[in-house]
Chain A
Amino acid sequence: MKEVVVLSGKGGTGKTSIVGSFAALARDKVMADCDVDAADLHLLLGTSNREKNEFWSGQVAAIDKDRCTQCGLCQDLCRFNAIRDYTVDRVSCEGCGFCSHICPVQAITMNECKAGDWFVSDTGYGPLVHARLGIAEENSGKLVALVRQQAKEIAGKNGLDLIISDGPPGIGCPVISSLSGASLALIVTEPTLSGIHDMERVLGVCGHFGVPAVVCINKYDLNEKNTAAIREYCRANGIDVAAMIPYDNIMTDAMVKGVPVVEYSGGEVAGEIKNLWRKIEDRLRAVSG
């Protein structure tokens, strides 16, 4: 089974619009929305028959007031400053359980947390696995791993051999969880100094985890000098610039209509995304897995 994950480092470069179009172009696949913090892919694909499941992960400490002798040991030892006035701050608690182990009167228990929900939905383009991490929750990496695992199982059951993942911004825990073990990463960047800086960091993460990457420059005509700098950086590092998409409001218009841009227009943007998908299919054929 092959899996392509779309990342960017910087947010708002166009990952989801491009993945939405891939969903319309690719055959025999399952989509996975790995941006569990702020999932948007379902808005483009349209969902029906949504099946909802609870995501339980991690723990949070609770102090039994009747037992607590206010000795203060838990407050002194907690590295996350999560206990003040013998009360647990649920937002700061990282669920390590240290306090529950050292409380001399066993007044502290650790309780499982519902950390979000995950969904399997039908779309007009195939199954979509997506999720919603609870507000202010940790464990986004574990939820991403669960989304990918479910996508793989659905693909396996239905004889589908491709997973297209829409990744989160950044380079931290949920990005690493989206990326590790994928066949190929597509990095969507834009020709701004921030876009370049962030692309370099996320390419570093791809290299660190040994996942091959290709780059797509979105809104390439916003700053041609920066576009040239991105091309030069990629050339020097042996990374293929697989597409250059011009700035066009058609991307937003398609989003407002709730359809992938390749289904909305036959223009230059759609043409470039179709070429990009063909190149990605070629690259996926070439990698093992």
Chain B
Amino acid sequence: MIIAVASGKGGTGKTLVATSLALSLKDRCRVQLLDCDVEEPNDHILVKPVILHSEPVSIPVPGVDKDKCTLCGKCAEVCAYHAIAVAGEYVLTFSELCHGCGACSYLCPEKAISEVPNEIGIIETGRANGLLFAQGRLSIGQPMAPPVIRKVRELVDKQATVIIDSSPGTSCPVVEAIKGSDYCLLVTEPTPFGLNDLVLAVETVKQLGIPFGIVLNRAGVGDDRTEEYCAGEKIPVLMKIPLDKNIAGLYSQGVPLVEGMPEYRNKFIELYENIKEAVDERSRSPER
């Protein structure tokens, strides 16, 4: 089973929930934690993995053989991203704009374009305190997170319960991280910003057809409108974590909640049982 942890708004507690959920389950089953927030991966700060393997993530970008090139301009014509252009007697390539689709090299009539790897990040795998662990890291200055996220997603262990931590927001990096999951936990806080962004996140997971529920973090801060929204939309609130300076203090030091406050372990196990029940029920339902 794959459980994704997402949120519209940043800083609501995705990392806290993903790490504590994974650590609570590790004595019960094989658990893999995948940090797909490749722009700002933070799970490693809490679970402190031993990295056993690391490999670069590259996308293939065009390399032009000047001797074969006739400056016909076909490559520039077919490139949807303006990543290759003919200027006078030169072919210019802009690797940051290239998505690595391969159209230019395939369609070059002179076969003058080969594809060369352009490193945009790395993926790291290892073990953390009884968990299987993997994360991606986008390199500084590189714009495109999705290819790095895809590489992390390829590491899904089919025998394990997989917990995926995603980046905030609702656009392509989030979709890349959470699509194909069996369940999505949306972590929010009961504030106007939290609610506004939760509504957007709910639209996203609905569009992807992933069943979902809410973890309400910092319960007690802000107002009641988030809970009213969930009740009105019949969205299950599976867990509440109160506003507590001690919880914030543990997080600030990189201590997982279930290690600093072991009484939370059973709450996360209960959260998992509720998710499992929802996923099992869905797989039994006839319309699927």
Q: Could you tell me which A residues sit within 8 Å of B by CB distance?
A: 8-13, 16, 36-38, 40, 43, 59, 77, 79-80, 91, 94-98, 101-102, 133, 135-138, 140-141, 168-177, 190-195, 197-198, 201, 204-205, 208-209, 222-223, 226, 249, 252, 255-256, 258
Contact = CB atoms under 8 A, between A and B. Distances in A.
Nearest to B43: A194
Contact of B45 (A8, A193, A249): A193
A8 B208 CA distance: 29
B24 interface: no
A135 B207 contact: yes
B196 A172 contact: no
Nearest to B206: A135
Given A37-B171, A43-B193, A193-B253, 7 more contacts: A9-B39, A9-B40, A11-B9, A91-B175, A96-B101, A172-B144, A256-B222
Given A10-B10, A170-B167, A255-B191, A192 B140 contact: no
Contact of A98 (B106, B200, B203, B223): B106
Contact of A222 (B42, B143, B249): B249
Contacts of A190: 252
B172 A136 contact: yes
B8 A98 contact: no
A37 B8 CA distance: 8
Interface in B1-46: 8-12, 15, 39-40, 42, 45
Contacts of B251: 192, 194
B239 to A, nearest CB: 18
Given A38-B8, A191-B252, A170 B40 contact: yes
A205 to B, nearest CB: 6
B252 A77 contact: no
A79 B168 CA distance: 26
| Top 7 closest pairs, chain A to chain B, by CB | A11-B10, A12-B11, A96-B101, A37-B169, A170-B39, A173-B143, A98-B103
Nearest to A169: B10
Chain B interface mostly helix, strand, loop or mixed? loop
A194 B16 CA distance: 11
Interface centre among A59, A176, A194 (most CB of B within 10 A): A194
A172 B252 contact: no
B62 interface: no
A91 B100 contact: no
B45 A98 contact: no
A190 B42 CA distance: 14
A36 B170 CA distance: 9
Given A133-B171, A169-B169, A173-B143, A12 B9 contact: yes
B192 interface: yes
Contacts of B106: 77, 98, 102
B134 to A, nearest CB: 18
B78 A79 contact: no
Contacts of A59: 80
Nearest to A225: B253
Contacts of B222: 252, 255-256
B248 interface: yes
B141 interface: yes
Interface string B143-171: 11100000000000000000000011111
B252 A223 contact: yes
Contacts of A256: 191-192, 222-223
B146 to A, nearest CB: 8
A261 to B, nearest CB: 13
Contact of A209 (B141, B175, B245): B141
Contacts of B231: none
B114 to A, nearest CB: 16
A140 B175 CA distance: 13
A222 B80 contact: no
A96 B80 CA distance: 5
Interface string B49-87: 000000000000000000000000000001011000000
A98 B167 CA distance: 29
A176 B141 contact: yes
Nearest to A226: B252
